[in-house]
Amino acid sequence: MNPAMPHPEMRIAPSLLSADFARLGEEVTAVIEAGADVIHFDVMDNHYVPNLTVGPLVCQAIKPYAVKNGQPVPIDVHLMVKPVDALIPMFAQAGASIISFHPEASEHIDRTIQLIKSLGVKAGLVLNPATPLSCLDHVLEQLDLVLLMSVNPGYGGQSFIEHVLPKIDAVRRRIDATGRDIWLEVDGGVKADNAQRVGSAGADTLVAGSAVFSGGRYQESIEAIRSNALAGLRSRRAQPERLPDDA
């Protein structure tokens, strides 16, 4: 059973890439108890990106731990693999709630989106820092999530790339123009001291890896990121509506 998608103002999605892999199930339980809304599951293939991580069997293994108050917590699978289509059914079967992919990894972006949705899974498109927003031109209204990378994909623990902030703003305005509930997720170098700027740019879902797991104080870290990001998002919403520009 796929979980209902949570609708808090600001969702925090701890990335298991920074968790203790020797006790991954316990780590999933711990971050959910600490306030995580979503579990972010990074898949790397040592081909599209220069790293190798985990596959569908690990996703299936953690699925029973992704529960809060008896209800499933979404598992947000980020596929950094090329080609991508063959792995999608495997992750859908393994329990993914959302599957996101990079346009560079698909021969036909629309077909890949339709494949994900045909399996009863939410579909997301991932844009790297230098990937143009034109990739969204003909598919945005089919998506459930847009993930903007604020680092170049392949490794955890990288520093946030500041020039992605205007890109977040541009995508937020595109999403708002559709009138649809499309998540705007940001992944890479997100932590408490830059979360307010990320929220102010328009993100409503933040992936955080080392910022959550490295200090051992999961609840404190999650709440610090959430509260700062919410302050930024609410400040944005309180401002007069701005005219869109050509992104």
Q: Which residues are identified as catalytic?
A: 42, 187
3-state secondary structure of 45: strand
Q: What does the alpha-carbon distance between residue 242 and residue 247 come to, in Å, rounded to a whole number?
A: 14
3-state secondary structure of 122: strand
3-state secondary structure of 39: strand
Closest residue by Cα to residue 218 from 64, 22, 68, 12: 12
- Residue 55, Cβ density class (10 Å: 0-12 exposed, 13-18 middle, ≥19 buried): middle
7-38 as b/e: b if 16+ CB within 10 A: eeebbbbbbbbbbeeeebeebbbbbbebbbbb
Contact 25, 65 (CB under 8 A): yes
